[in-house]
Structure 1
């Protein structure tokens, strides 16, 4: 395993890679995680693959200096730089995205379908519009309120507790939300990360058209007990592309990207 930085505009994008094969797996991590979550794959990936996993803006060791914007053009340019650095400009890519990284993978699939060999999505974000995320990142007033709340969260904690007591918010979502807003630094990062990723908005109807037209394999892997990203989203997405899209449910929660589930992940990559 090796790590490095690539220069992109005024930023330094951190990533790791392992393997030396001609087939590329581009790994995209979840919210609050980094390229390190894919390290365990080094012991399982066949020799004909090269795995590249990057730290997205405001994550890991990436030093992002382009403001609170990570555009589709940025994503495509960084992907191209990584392929060029490893002499794989002509190679097709297998996308492996977990949670938030699944949304990024879908955006890449939409933007460069001719470069994609297959797409593996692990409990992916992006298959359903989250109304709170939309309000916080896609509207001016919502983003202003979001920024205020990250600095003054007391009212929001009260709202969460009330919603939980009224059974409008389940316990898993309550714990998940508390974890990501429990202190000042975490709240600042939440604001920066959500706002920065606001332009990554895959068009699902168009993507399904591309999947059919290009006969692109897509494999979905979900946790049966995941209360954050439900497998029903994937089942709805499969409608109309069943010939190209598989869905598998394993006995876990949201954290499907773990070594103990590597057989399921590798089966999706190699099928």
Structure 2
């Protein structure tokens, strides 16, 4: 494993390289995770592939000093720099994104489609617009309410508990949300991460058109028991691009990016 830093504008973007193979995979981790999430893959496919995993803003050891702004142009510039460094910018690449990283991969598929060989999405965010995320990040009032709530979470926690008792919120979502509002530092990071990533919002209609035009393979992997990101989102996305997009469901929850699922992940990368 190689750890390195890319200087970008005023920021220091950390990334890890796993493997030394000729084929290049760009990897994007989930919320609250880091580039290290992909380390196990290097043990299995590192002879054939070079995996470059980036610590996204406010994650891992990346020092993001551009405020709460991470634009599509920033994402593309960082990606193209690494692309040129590790394969002179000419070889087509595979995108691998897990959860929030799936949304990042979809944005790159939209922005750099002619440079993409295939896209592998593991329980990906970005295939459905969550109303609360949209309100908190895409509207002025919603973003200020979001910031206020992260500083004064009592009212929201009471509302969350009431929704859980009335069975309006399932237990998995309740536990997931409660974790992120119980700790001051965690709440602050939640606000910074969500707000910073708000410009990464792939246009699914455009992406599906590009997939058909360029015959781009897309592989979707979901956990059958995932209550955070349901496989139904992938089924809806596949409509109209079935010849290029496959969907696979395995016996797990949201944590599909684990070594015990390595065979399923590798199969999607190579199929």
SS in 2 for 1:95: strand
Q: Which residue pairs with 1:34 in the alignment?
A: 34
1:108-127 counterparts in 2 under 5 A? 108-127=108-127
Distance 1:162 1:148 in 2: 20
Q: Which residue pairs with 1:49 in the alignment?
A: 49
Is this contact kept in 1: 2:18–2:46, CA < 8 A?
no
1:144 aligns with 2:180: no
Distance 2:88 2:237 in 1: 31
Q: Which residue pairs with 1:131 in the alignment?
A: 131
- Return the offset for 1:46: 5.0
Q: Deviations over 1:49-100 (max 9, x none)?
A: 1110010000000000001010000000000111222243111110000000
1:91-110 counterparts in 2 under 5 A? 91-110=91-110
- Return the offset for 1:156: 0.5
Is this contact kept in 2: 1:30–1:101, CA < 8 A?
yes
Structure 1 portions without partners, runs of 5+: none
Distance 2:46 2:62 in 1: 28
- Return the offset for 1:157: 0.3
1:188 aligns with 2:188: yes
Distance 1:95 1:229 in 2: 19
Q: Which residue pairs with 1:215 in the alignment?
A: 215
SS in 2 for 1:86: helix
Q: Which residue pairs with 1:173 in the alignment?
A: 173
- Return the offset for 1:188: 0.3
Distance 2:170 2:88 in 1: 45
Q: Deviations over 1:30-61 (max 9, x none)?
A: 00000011000111115231110010000000
Q: Which residue pairs with 1:197 in the alignment?
A: 197
SS in 1 for 2:82: helix
Is this contact kept in 2: 1:31–1:100, CA < 8 A?
yes
Q: Deviations over 1:214-248 (max 9, x none)?
A: 00000000000000000000000000000000000
SS in 1 for 2:12: strand
Q: CA RMSD in A?
A: 0.8
Q: Which residue pairs with 2:253 in the alignment?
A: 253
Is this contact kept in 1: 2:126–2:201, CA < 8 A?
yes
Distance 1:112 1:213 in 2: 13
Aligned length: 271
Scaled by the length of structure 2, what TM-score is found? 0.99
Scaled by the length of structure 1, what TM-score is found? 0.99
Structure 2 portions without partners, runs of 5+: none
1:18-97 counterparts in 2 under 5 A? 18-97=18-97
Alpha-carbon spacing, 1:20–1:226, altered in 2? closer, same or farther (3 Å) = same
